[in-house]
């Protein structure tokens, strides 16, 4: 079961400019957005609509003197939050994973190759949860991004799987140090190991 995000995100510094127009507590905005995402809503207008439809329920669990945030508020707040906080919340919530699959993907929708977003994701197979994601910077690749992703997750006792791209000595050392096992695809680019 996931930990209550209100407790976790209430401890964060609010990235918004602190002024008299700050109506909605950070933990409220995040709690409503996460609830909407879990229920299948995936854009800010539909998140606002979902929150308005379920306002009576949200008012039972949140202090909301100014009502439901606007879709612009959801979008602006979520843009400012360091996405690593969500990975830490997931990692704190779900500690034991038998199998963690690592894979990288380009998101659809970029008009040019330079617009494409490239992510490396850690996925817990049993719980069907994305534990963490990191974006691959344009000058990096998945191999150099992977250590940061693995550092975000409690790997102890897990079996980590990945394709041949991740079959690297440093990756294996990091997994062993984290007390995880691994199954990585092996290709002929590691000639001696492949022959063995």
**Per-residue CA distances from 187 to 15, 101, 159, 169, 193 (Å):** 45, 18, 20, 14, 9
Condensed to tens digits (0 to 9), the pLDDT of residues 32-74 reads 998 998 888 989 999 999 999 999 999 998 888 889 999 998 9
The residues of the chain that CATH labels 3.30.420.10 are 95-195
Q: Are strands 159-162 and 99-106 parallel, antiparallel or unpaired?
A: parallel
Assigned CATH for 95-195: 3.30.420.10
User: What's the start-to-end Cα distance of the chain, in Å?
Assistant: 43
C-alpha angle 39-94-105 in degrees, rounded to nearest 5? 65
φ/ψ of 106, rounded to 5, equals -95, 135
Please answer whether residues 146 and 120 qualify as being in contact, where contact means their C-beta atoms are separated by less than 8 angstroms.
yes
Written as six digits, the tokens of 45 are 């207008």
* CA-closest candidate to residue 166, choices 179, 158, 175, 157: 175
Q: What is the mean pLDDT of each run of 10 residues along the chain (196 residues)?
A: 71 76 83 89 93 94 90 88 72 74 78 69 84 79 87 89 90 94 88 84
């Amino acid at each position: 079961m996931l930990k209550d995000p209100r407790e976790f995100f209430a401890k964060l510094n609010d990235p918004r400019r602190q002024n008299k127009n700050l109506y909605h507590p950070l933990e409220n905005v995040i709690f409503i957005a996460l609830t909407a995402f879990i229920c299948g809503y995936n854009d800010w207008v539909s998140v606002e609509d979902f929150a308005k439809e379920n306002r009576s329920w949200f008012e039972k669990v949140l202090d909301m003197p100014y009502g439901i945030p606007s879709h612009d508020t959801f979008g602006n707040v979520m843009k400012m939050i360091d996405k690593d906080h969500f990975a830490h919340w997931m990692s704190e919530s779900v500690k034991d994973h038998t199998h963690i699959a690592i894979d990288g993907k380009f998101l659809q929708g970029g008009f040019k190759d330079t617009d494409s977003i490239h992510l490396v994701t850690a996925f817990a197979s049993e719980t069907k949860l994305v534990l963490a994601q990191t974006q691959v910077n344009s000058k990096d690749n998945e191999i150099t991004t992977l250590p940061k992703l693995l550092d975000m997750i409690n790997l102890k006792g897990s079996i980590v799987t990945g394709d041949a791209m991740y079959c690297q000595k440093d990756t294996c050392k990091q997994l062993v140090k984290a007390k995880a096992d691994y199954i990585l695809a092996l290709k002929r680019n590691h000639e001696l190991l492949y022959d063995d």
